[in-house]
């Protein structure tokens, strides 16, 4: 096994299809500032995802930072410690205190039954994450937000194309955030987006991502430079042509993993059967104490074979130096998240992963 096998690899569109877009960009001399491909990608994503308003960003972290600015969030925000660090970092960049709440053991998402106990007079919003593309308990989180007059921003970085019985997950909350990083199912190399409920909110977002400019001489707010450039948008337009085929391949790999690991004592796969449309963005397994090897032993064994699984998410965000002194970061407050962080291993899954390699990965995990 010479070529390294990673958790994911970007699925790039054929170069021959990208080159005409590049030629148009070159000839137009408009490389950024909401050019024609930027506009086309916004329209195409709205149609594909079943949403009304989307604002494209240079990356998902800038989208998170801007979403908090858009809703003028201050004080404290309730969120999960079991996520990528950008979720909490976006709060610190806005001078907001993260308040960590434990996760549900089945979905690994923020546990809505523990949110109310974390609400204080300084709480202004909830920032849940659709971890691995699995839907949060949207109904219960919304009920709590309504009672306490809180905003909801969903970190939906993993949830491109995911739908429940009501349609896109991106329609929920006050805002939802996507990432188009190279590790995501849909990529513009780097990139991200904010999904908003109305034109007025989208207009404010678009001001904020372009230094606050409303026109050539009018600055409406202290914005940043978060714009997606034309090259990124062009890659997105081409990639969108292949997304359904890519998701089908991911589904087949997911099914192969589940077939080979089904019924193995001490290995648990997350249930996604209840999701109307899933994107198979990750394939996490939970290594339970009764299994013959620990999670870290399996991780090291695979790595020695050039198979680079990932311990998503380890360590917990709450364990990093800038967060560990927060009262909500204590182990006693986060037992489920702490357990998940030392138990979850994400196996390689991407459209070009050979079924033979999936079998080899499973054999390596299962052999004593």
pLDDT in tens, 212-244: 999 889 999 999 999 999 999 999 999 999 999
Task: Indicate if the pLDDT at residue 173 is higher than 80.
Answer: yes
pLDDT score recorded for residue 18: 87
- The segment(s) of the chain belonging to CATH 3.40.640.10 are 15-240
- In this prediction the pTM is 0.96
Crossing angle of helices 230-240/15-28, nearest 10°? 150
Three-state SS for 9?
A: coil
Which residues have C-beta within 8 Å of that of residue 306, sequence separation ≥ 6?
Answer: 1, 2, 3, 4, 5
Whole-number pLDDT of residue 368: 83
Q: Does 1 have pLDDT greater than 80?
A: no
Measuring CA to CA, which residue among 72, 77, 128 is closest to residue 99?
77
Listed range (5-14, 77-86, 126-135, 164-173) with the worst mean pLDDT: 5-14
Query: Is the model's pLDDT at 166 over the cut of 70?
Result: yes
pLDDT at site 3: 83
What is the per-residue pLDDT for 316? Answer: 98
Average pLDDT, integer, range 31-41: 92
Report pLDDT for 43: 98
Which range has the worst mean pLDDT, 33-37, 92-96, 243-247? 33-37
Q: Which token pair is 317? A: 């965000």
Q: Is the backbone peptide bond immediately before 47 cis, with ω within 30 degrees of 0?
A: no
Fold of 243-366: 3.90.1150
Q: Quote the Cα angle for 187-193-194, to 5°.
A: 155
Higher-confidence residue: 239 or 29?
239
DSSP of 196-252: ESSHHHHHHHHHHTBTTEEETTEE-S---B-PPPHHHHHHHHHHHTTHHHHHHHHHH
Residues 6+ apart with CB under 8 A from 30: 36, 230
**CATH code of the domain made up of 15-240:** 3.40.640.10
Extract the tokens encoding 259: 């077939």
Would you call the peptide bond into 202 cis, given omega within 30 degrees of 0 as the criterion?
Answer: no
Please say whether the beta carbons of 362 and 260 come within 8 A: yes
pLDDT at 2 over 80: no
Over 60: is that where the pLDDT of 74 sits? Answer: yes
Torsion of CA 239, 244, 247, 253, to 10 degrees: -120
Average pLDDT over residues 294-307: 97
* pLDDT given at position 242: 94
Where does CATH 3.90.1150.10 sit in the chain? Answer: 243-366
Q: Can you tell me which residue has the tokens 């109305």?
A: 198
301 or 25: which leads in pLDDT: 301
């Amino acid at each position: 096994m010479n070529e390294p096998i990673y958790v994911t690899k970007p699925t790039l569109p054929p170069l021959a299809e990208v080159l005409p877009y590049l030629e148009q960009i070159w000839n137009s001399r408009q490389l950024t500032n909401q050019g024609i491909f930027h506009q086309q990608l916004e329209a195409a994503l709205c149609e594909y995802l079943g949403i009304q308003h989307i604002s494209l960003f240079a990356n998902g972290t800038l989208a998170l930072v801007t979403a908090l600015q858009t809703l003028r969030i201050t004080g404290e925000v309730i969120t999960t410690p079991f996520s990528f660090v950008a979720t909490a970092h976006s709060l610190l960049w806005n001078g907001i205190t993260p308040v960590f709440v434990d996760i549900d053991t089945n979905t690994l998402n923020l546990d809505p039954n523990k949110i109310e106990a974390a609400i204080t007079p300084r709480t202004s919003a909830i920032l849940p994450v659709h971890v691995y593309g699995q839907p949060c308990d949207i109904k219960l989180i919304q009920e709590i937000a309504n009672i306490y007059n809180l905003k909801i921003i969903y970190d939906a970085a993993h949830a491109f194309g995911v739908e429940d019985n009501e349609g896109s997950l991106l329609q929920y909350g006050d805002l939802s955030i996507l990432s188009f990083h190279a590790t995501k199912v849909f990529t513009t190399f780097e990139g991200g987006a904010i999904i908003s409920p109305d034109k007025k909110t989208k207009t404010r977002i678009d001001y904020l991502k372009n230094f606050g400019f409303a026109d050539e001489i009018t600055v409406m707010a202290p914005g940043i430079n978060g714009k997606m450039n034309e090259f990124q948008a062009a890659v997105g337009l081409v990639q969108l042509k292949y997304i359904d085929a890519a998701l089908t391949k991911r589904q087949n790999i997911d099914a192969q993993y589940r077939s080979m690991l089904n019924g193995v004592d001490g290995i648990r796969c997350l249930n996604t059967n209840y999701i109307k449309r899933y994107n198979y963005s990750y394939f996490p397994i939970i290594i339970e104490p009764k299994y013959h090897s620990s999670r870290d032993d399996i991780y090291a064994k695979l790595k020695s074979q050039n198979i680079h699984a990932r311990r998503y998410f380890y360590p917990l965000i709450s364990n990093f130096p800038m967060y560990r002194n927060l009262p909500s970061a204590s182990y006693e407050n986060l037992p489920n998240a702490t357990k998940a962080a030392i138990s979850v291993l994400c196996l390689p899954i991407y459209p070009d992963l050979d079924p033979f390699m999936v079998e080899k990965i499973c054999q390596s995990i299962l052999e004593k």
